[in-house]
Amino acid sequence: MSPIIDPVKHADETLQAGVSRDTSFDQCIKCTVCTVYCPVAKANPAYPGPKQCGPDGERLRIKSPEFYDDALSMCTNCKRCETACPSGVNVSDLIAVARAEHGKKKPGIKLMRDFVLSHTDLMGSLSSPVAPLVNTATSLGPVKKLMHKTIGVHQHKDLPKYSHGTFRRWYKQNCTSQDCTQDR
Ligand code: SF4
Ligand code: SF4
């Protein structure tokens, strides 16, 4: 039988540990649009879908890690659910972080892959200053083959490109307040 965990105590411990959680699950309006757009849920009835694995599951996992479901490993992190969500819920990030936190952690290169895929903000901040280098490296055939054989990212998959610099900086340089309101 699973141990009973006090959710308030668990939340306190999380805060004391200084861990900041993604709270976008609170914005979920349960419309299930994400599940309609999920290719894995469509193809595999064993996958509970992004709504259940993301915001619904996150509420339970906060109460107790015992609620972690190994089916989350079926998510391919394609982010279609996140793009489709009308409420700005970071569905695929919630799933990826839960996998990194609660999934079976065998030390190795795939654990590193899960860390990279579940920390998109951190990787964006690190990669943006050297975006041309990172983009070139990840589009080279031999690098793609290596990633295919080691971390399981298919060689026919194109990784998203990083931008050099931030949108905030581009906006300050290229868009005066008049430019931005003229076309509206
Ligand atoms: S990121 Fe995962 S849950 Fe979301 S659409 Fe892709 S496979 Fe489905
Ligand atoms: S699309 Fe967004 S708001 Fe709708 S159920 Fe999925 S996560 Fe919730």
Higher pLDDT, 18 or 50: 50
User: Across residues 106-119, what is the average pLDDT?
Assistant: 74
Provide the token pair at 144.
Answer: 């793609």
pLDDT, position 88: 94
- Whether 107 has a pLDDT exceeding 50, the answer reads yes
pLDDT, position 132: 92
pLDDT digits (tens, 9 = 90+) for 115-168: 777 777 788 888 888 999 999 999 999 999 998 888 878 889 888 888 887 788
- Where exactly are the structural domains of the chain? 23-103, 119-184
User: Across residues 58-70, what is the average pLDDT?
Assistant: 90
Closest Cα to atom 7, ligand 1: which residue?
75
Closest Cα to atom 3, ligand 1: which residue?
50
Phi-psi region of 79 (alpha: psi -120 to 50; beta: other; left: phi over 0): left
Residue 178: pLDDT band (50, 70, 90) is low
pLDDT, position 20: 64
pLDDT, position 31: 97
Residue 183: pLDDT band (50, 70, 90) is low
Residue 14: pLDDT band (50, 70, 90) is very low
Q: Which CATH architecture is the domain 23-103 placed in?
A: Orthogonal Bundle (1.10)
Mean pLDDT of the chain: 82
Residue 180: pLDDT band (50, 70, 90) is low
DSSP states along 105-156: ---SHHHHHHHHHH-HHHHHHHHGGGHHHHHHHHHSHHHHHHHHHHT---TT
Higher pLDDT, 65 or 87: 87
For ligand 1, whether the C-beta of 38 sits within 6 Å is yes
How many angstroms separate the alpha carbon of residue 53 from the centre of ligand 2? 11
CB atoms within 10 A of CB 71: 16
Distance CA 34, CA 153 (A): 23
For ligand 1, whether the C-beta of 147 sits within 6 Å is no
